[in-house]
Structure 1
Amino acid sequence: MSINLNDLSSFQSPGKSWQIAGDVTVDLDKPNKLNVSEGTGILVNIPTKKNKGKDLFTDIEHGDVDLELDYMMAKGSNSGIYLQGRYELQLADNWGATGVSASSNGGVYERWDESRPKGQQGYQGYAPRQNAGRAPGLWQHLKISFQAPRFDASGNKTENAKLLRVELNGVAIHENIELFGPTRGATSNEEKAMGPLRLQGDHGAVAFRNIKVTHYNKPRPELKNISYIVYGGRYEQEPQYDSIPPEAEGTSGILTSNLNTTARRFLIRYTGTLVVKEAGEYTFNVETPGGSGLVRVNKQEVVPMRAWNGKGTVALPAGEVPFELLYAKYMDWAQPALALRVSGPALREFLISDKEVGLADVVDPIIVDAQERPILRSFIDLPGDQRVTHAISVGSPAELHYTYDMDHGTIVQLWRGGFLDATPMWHERGDGSSRALGSVQYFGKPALTVAKLASEQEAWTTDTTGSAYHPKSYKLNKKSEPTFSYEVNGAIVMDAINVIENGQGLRRELIVQNPSANLYVRLVEGNKIEEAGKGMYLIDDKSYYVRVEDTAGAKPVVRNVAGHQELIVPVREKLTYSILF
């Protein structure tokens, strides 16, 4: 369900610092300030000295829940989200910070005990794995999977609350965090199975939108009467069972790959009964690394025989239905491993098979650290099955990194957090690719940065044909930051890219020698480009900023082309702009 943000009726006694708006922006020079426009869809909190503000509670209460929303921080601001009003996940403007703590953006705030020794009152706080936050005034996306504490019939707590997973801007920052008790500032230290969502309102200016709550309060289906038959040999497809003798058979209390089979290649056929406690659509997700799996439920093939993993959905009635699962292990190098996960109506995905069978990658990841300013050449895969074959990824200790495409003289991605996972490139024979580890901003399909246009309305060239583009080299400055050089349309371009102080963004300086007529630089393309004053532009629904700093007298142009927008500048001898992220 989505929380209604047409007004404040979804909340209990909202204070005067809270309002509904249609748009919100930030001035990067003014701390703790949000500028709002009339309309609906955005929840805004602006506490002031006169009106200090108070926390906002939802009318609804929740137990197990997935919470998904966008939020925007004012400059220097901080706030928080309290699950069940008791367990706080910190929201903060940490733009330019590299270290992380429990009070950082996305941190699990500390518990507090005044009776503990001085300096140790705060405890059991959890820093995010990495700094995946973005600049003030940009929308940030948060996803929380929360498991409420469990209690017995007498009201005694039998299991602590947990953060099963927290993602910030597409990056996992917490997994399986046990919450031993309420954090500091909780409404009560008494834990319960249900409680309202609480948004901190007495600290700093913050905005929220697209608040979606998914409750998980239905009983899980169960397996019973499980029996198995094991067949030795390699089976990539379901065999004719009458024609092959079984190696072993018996009964089991659980689906598992650990049946102590003697064969290195084998097929296990499980049959049993699935007890469905709530009618509805159920999704089955089977993982079989080094082999294949098939799932039939209620005599319907839900997941066909498929290598490595498969997923399918089926409508099931309440009651007992027949169940069948095939697990074929046929890769000699792989260890036996099987996992089956099930989700359904108001039912979070859970593991119904053996919990002792680990499915972690058998390969230790090969992670490239950014502390020594690495520059790594590899393939880079972008959304939409685009592979950049001549990519150079540049790391920074400020935890802001980018990938440059030497085939087009352009930046294809920018990210904050960890640098690169080079496992796909360096493990065994590899495929030559590496992956960004942090929160990534992509810049669309690779295209020339500098191109010739017959007019300001001509479509931007999508490849280098006819441009005489020729990459030359790159040189490093004292900070190991590269300046790339290339030829295009008769001009020589020096493309210097530097990390702004504290990693707040990238500054790009283009020096163009012998520019010909009608040459343009495309700074950015996107679905929406908004002018924000002082040379600032907000891109794609406030995903990042572009700040134009020096055009050598040329005038930037925002143009509409083929359903999207582009920010272009006529080429002079010099152009400097920054990407703030």
Structure 2
Amino acid sequence: MKHVSYYLLIVYIIFFISCEKDKKESEKTIVKKEVKVVKPNFLPFKTITLNDLSGFKPTGANWKIVGNVIADRSKEKTFFTEEGTGILLNKNDQEKGSNKNLFTPFDHGDMELEIDVMMPVKSNSGLYFQGRYEVQLFDSWNVKKPKYVDMGGIYQRWNNEAPKGKEGYEGYSPRVNAAKAPGLWQHLKVIFHAAKFDKTGKKTKNAWFEEVWLNGVLIHENVELSGPTRGGGTNADEKPKGPLMIQGDHGPVAFKNIKYKLYEGNTFTLSNITRTEYENVKNLPINLDTISKEKEEKVDGFTLVDVTKSRDKKMVVHSGILSVPETGKYLFEGHANGISELYLNNKKFLNIRGGMDKANIKTTTLEKGDIPFKVVYNQHAPWARGFSLHVEGPNMQRYSIQEGTKKGEGVFDPLKGIIVEPKDKPVMQRSFVNHEGEKHTHCISVGTPQGIHYSYNLATGSLLRVWNGSFLNTTHMWLARGFKQLGEPIGFSVTMHGDLEFASLEEDNSPWPIPLIENKGVKQLGYELDASRMPSFSYQIEKTTISNSFTIPEGTRQLNKSITISKGKNLWHKLADGESIKELPDNTYVINNESYYIDFTGNDLKPIIRNIDGKDELLVEVPKGDSTINYSIIW
């Protein structure tokens, strides 16, 4: 009997050890990140293919198609290039007077343009809409108070007959400096509207820039121009249309990913509209014939503003005729805090529900002509208020079908609301933080008087975002019930990878692990403040203690990161990931998906660049024992 008991005990111990081993192995299981597919809320752009210069009018020898460009950050106006395709380069290397501007073969009136641009040190160029109205391109890195001459500025007009020193007027400065460091790709988005003329050729409306965005930051809104900017001709030169021009005689510049849409002012016409109010119901869909009508009348337009501004429970139906101006593909996007449905051609086309943050999107091809439409909106509770419906189509800029609404109404503006600004010492603010579409709950944002700020995930020990300018908008935390609990960066921000920063890899090509459920395996040790009140954050992972501290050098836009690793095993540190990572000759790395630099000079360790699942990763192996890593993030 003793032998049997002893045998059973051994079996139990082996089984227990095996289970514990399986448990530990399962805790180390590497799970790939889920790739979230986001449905686009816009129709496709037209693109200018950069295989050669055939997408432009014939021009000078200063223009060339290349495969890659790298700016020499130690010299002004200097690019290194590689052969290939995909990048439009102005070398600006011809004799004086021989560097030519570049024009599109098509003319445009109203236009939406998106383009990536790279400026070398101290270079200068410009985008001239219709060849007349300039958005400035300039190396404006570290400029504290941008002017019209800086990156994204709308250049001034010029009057040769004015007194000396007063010739320039009507230049418009960007509201913030969102320009990146020289040699980094920058994204520009512009919505431009041409001047309008009557049948006699008399101007009836000035040209205007509806929006100018630089690197995801709105820097101009509704800027009206009384005439062409300097270099764009005189008032007599204004016309309904003209080509897009890229300035070629001021300095080297590179472009890629050029895409655009042309608009002719098309809109739907709604007519014969009947508005019917019904007894409120709890949900949709419902047979309207089964509930009683409370009111019915003919109306001139479609709007629910009066309903959504009240706290009344109401169900309102608008029906009528929708006139389609042009055959083609149309995209509808609806949002509703209540419950809504859109019918086209007597068929339910789009369910609109899920809150004002949820986009309900659907595309369809419509023939030119008249079709019946119906919009059902059910405001089933006093707090369930809100509705929007936008459409985009051929030669039709996205707009709201609903009357009585303004563009951007209800859209969060980070420059307005409850703002936290550091004054003479750093400020720390706990909040939720959005990172690549995911809300992280255990985060802290650190703002500094120097205007360089960052957000840090305390749960995983990961840097999430860096930015410069103003610090934090806390409106979504402190206004009313603080429903979203989000701290929103105000300035121009750059997103870091946000993954675990340290991990062990079984093989060189093992996928980078994601945090386990409830961040198991990462133990937070809190943070300490130095004499200047800058924090250092510590945590343990795989029996290794890691501390992160950050400093900001004066007079430059960068964040210095210092990491100490104590009593550790062999680990890998992930510095960055992106669509493309390249090492530069000065031991600096350029990260192309967010387009920022990592300067790794001064370390004994050497990072590697590897490609996993189509994405480049910048990793460095940290040996067992005590180590220190120092590097800078520059943008």
TM-score of the pair, normalised by structure 1: 0.90
CA distance in 2, matches of 1:51, 1:19: 18
Match of residue 618 from structure 2: 566
Match of residue 326 from structure 2: 278
Query: Residues 516, 10 of structure 1: CA spacing in aligned structure 2 closer, same or farther, 3 A cutoff?
Result: closer
1:29 matched to 2:83: no
SS class of match (2:373):
strand
SS class of match (1:192):
coil
Residue 213 (structure 1) shift: 2.1
Query: Residues 506, 116 of structure 1: CA spacing in aligned structure 2 closer, same or farther, 3 A cutoff?
Result: same
CA distance in 2, matches of 1:124, 1:329: 47
CA distance in 2, matches of 1:196, 1:350: 25
Q: How many residue pairs end up in the alignment?
A: 575
Code of the residue aligned with 2:392 in structure 1: it is S
Match of residue 76 from structure 1: 122
Residue 356 (structure 1) shift: 5.2
Residue 528 (structure 1) shift: 3.0
Question: Is the Cα–Cα contact under 8 Å of residues 550 and 562 in structure 2 kept in the other structure?
Answer: yes
1:360 matched to 2:409: yes
CA distance in 1, matches of 2:343, 2:137: 45
Q: Give the counterpart of 1:144 among 176, 183, 190.
A: 190
Match of residue 9 from structure 2: none
1:412 matched to 2:464: yes
Residue 322 (structure 1) shift: 0.9
CA distance in 1, matches of 2:101, 2:319: 53
Task: Between 202-211 and 253-262, report the one with greater CA deviation.
Answer: 253-262
Query: Residues 445, 478 of structure 1: CA spacing in aligned structure 2 closer, same or farther, 3 A cutoff?
Result: closer
1:577 matched to 2:631: yes
Between Structure 1 and Structure 2, the one with more helix by share is 2
Match of residue 533 from structure 1: 585
Query: Residues 250, 379 of structure 1: CA spacing in aligned structure 2 closer, same or farther, 3 A cutoff?
Result: same
CA distance in 1, matches of 2:311, 2:476: 30
Query: Residues 342, 56 of structure 1: CA spacing in aligned structure 2 closer, same or farther, 3 A cutoff?
Result: same
SS class of match (2:296):
strand
Task: Between 227-236 and 141-150, report the one with greater CA deviation.
Answer: 227-236
Residue 503 (structure 1) shift: 4.0
SS class of match (1:66):
strand
1:382 matched to 2:432: no
Match of residue 393 from structure 2: 344
Match of residue 266 from structure 2: 219
CA distance in 2, matches of 1:12, 1:263: 58
Residue 197 (structure 1) shift: 0.5
CA distance in 1, matches of 2:239, 2:537: 59
Q: Mapping of 1:543-554 within 5 angstroms?
A: 543-551=595-603, 553-554=604-605
SS class of match (2:527):
strand
Question: Is the Cα–Cα contact under 8 Å of residues 451 and 467 in structure 1 kept in the other structure?
Answer: no
Residue 82 (structure 1) shift: 0.7
Residue 215 (structure 1) shift: 1.3
Residue 8 (structure 1) shift: 2.3
Question: Is the Cα–Cα contact under 8 Å of residues 555 and 570 in structure 1 kept in the other structure?
Answer: no
CA distance in 1, matches of 2:320, 2:157: 46
1:58 matched to 2:111: no
Match of residue 45 from structure 1: 90
Code of the residue aligned with 1:352 in structure 2: it is I
1:249 matched to 2:299: no
CA distance in 2, matches of 1:242, 1:459: 58
Code of the residue aligned with 1:314 in structure 2: it is T
Question: Is the Cα–Cα contact under 8 Å of residues 453 and 518 in structure 1 kept in the other structure?
Answer: no
Question: Is the Cα–Cα contact under 8 Å of residues 432 and 443 in structure 2 kept in the other structure?
Answer: yes
Residue 255 (structure 1) shift: 0.9
Residue 545 (structure 1) shift: 1.3
Residue 369 (structure 1) shift: 3.0
Residue 467 (structure 1) shift: 9.4
Question: Is the Cα–Cα contact under 8 Å of residues 232 and 263 in structure 1 kept in the other structure?
Answer: no
Question: Is the Cα–Cα contact under 8 Å of residues 398 and 503 in structure 1 kept in the other structure?
Answer: no
Code of the residue aligned with 2:568 in structure 1: it is S
Match of residue 499 from structure 2: 446
Residue 186 (structure 1) shift: 0.8
Match of residue 11 from structure 1: 56
SS class of match (2:493):
strand
Query: Residues 259, 445 of structure 1: CA spacing in aligned structure 2 closer, same or farther, 3 A cutoff?
Result: closer
Match of residue 361 from structure 2: 311
Residue 534 (structure 1) shift: 1.8
Query: Residues 31, 560 of structure 1: CA spacing in aligned structure 2 closer, same or farther, 3 A cutoff?
Result: same
SS class of match (2:338):
strand
Query: Residues 532, 473 of structure 1: CA spacing in aligned structure 2 closer, same or farther, 3 A cutoff?
Result: same
CA distance in 2, matches of 1:258, 1:506: 46
Question: Is the Cα–Cα contact under 8 Å of residues 274 and 322 in structure 1 kept in the other structure?
Answer: yes
CA distance in 2, matches of 1:358, 1:330: 26
Code of the residue aligned with 2:63 in structure 1: it is W
Question: Is the Cα–Cα contact under 8 Å of residues 544 and 569 in structure 2 kept in the other structure?
Answer: no
Question: Is the Cα–Cα contact under 8 Å of residues 570 and 621 in structure 2 kept in the other structure?
Answer: no
Q: CA RMSD in A?
A: 2.9
Residue 196 (structure 1) shift: 0.7
Residue 5 (structure 1) shift: 2.1
CA distance in 2, matches of 1:362, 1:141: 21
Match of residue 400 from structure 1: 452
Q: Give the counterpart of 1:500 among 553, 561, 564.
A: 553
Question: Is the Cα–Cα contact under 8 Å of residues 130 and 173 in structure 1 kept in the other structure?
Answer: yes
Code of the residue aligned with 1:28 in structure 2: it is R
Residue 577 (structure 1) shift: 0.9
CA distance in 2, matches of 1:317, 1:143: 31
Residue 357 (structure 1) shift: 6.7
Query: Residues 517, 219 of structure 1: CA spacing in aligned structure 2 closer, same or farther, 3 A cutoff?
Result: closer
Match of residue 194 from structure 1: 241
1:106 matched to 2:152: yes
Residue 87 (structure 1) shift: 0.9
- The CA deviation string for residues 376-417 of structure 1, in whole angstroms up to 9 with x for no partner, is 1112122253x3222111223444322112222221222344
Match of residue 422 from structure 1: 474
CA distance in 2, matches of 1:512, 1:258: 58
Match of residue 157 from structure 1: 203
- The CA deviation string for residues 279-304 of structure 1, in whole angstroms up to 9 with x for no partner, is 2222233444x423322122232222
1:176 matched to 2:222: yes
Code of the residue aligned with 1:322 in structure 2: it is P
1:297 matched to 2:344: yes
SS class of match (1:501):
coil
Question: Is the Cα–Cα contact under 8 Å of residues 452 and 558 in structure 2 kept in the other structure?
Answer: yes
CA distance in 2, matches of 1:11, 1:563: 32
Q: Give the counterpart of 2:490 among 412, 425, 437.
A: 437
Question: Is the Cα–Cα contact under 8 Å of residues 178 and 214 in structure 2 kept in the other structure?
Answer: yes
Residue 198 (structure 1) shift: 0.8
Residue 134 (structure 1) shift: 1.2
Code of the residue aligned with 2:564 in structure 1: it is I
- The CA deviation string for residues 243-292 of structure 1, in whole angstroms up to 9 with x for no partner, is 3333322111111225689981212211111112212222233444x423
Question: Is the Cα–Cα contact under 8 Å of residues 427 and 447 in structure 2 kept in the other structure?
Answer: yes
SS class of match (1:424):
helix
Code of the residue aligned with 1:538 in structure 2: it is V
Code of the residue aligned with 2:590 in structure 1: it is L
Question: Is the Cα–Cα contact under 8 Å of residues 451 and 468 in structure 2 kept in the other structure?
Answer: yes
CA distance in 1, matches of 2:258, 2:135: 15
Larger radius of gyration: 2
CA distance in 2, matches of 1:245, 1:358: 35
Question: Is the Cα–Cα contact under 8 Å of residues 523 and 569 in structure 1 kept in the other structure?
Answer: no
CA distance in 2, matches of 1:263, 1:531: 59
Q: What stretches of structure 1 of length at least 5 have no aligned partner?
A: none
Question: Is the Cα–Cα contact under 8 Å of residues 130 and 418 in structure 1 kept in the other structure?
Answer: no
Query: Residues 317, 557 of structure 1: CA spacing in aligned structure 2 closer, same or farther, 3 A cutoff?
Result: closer
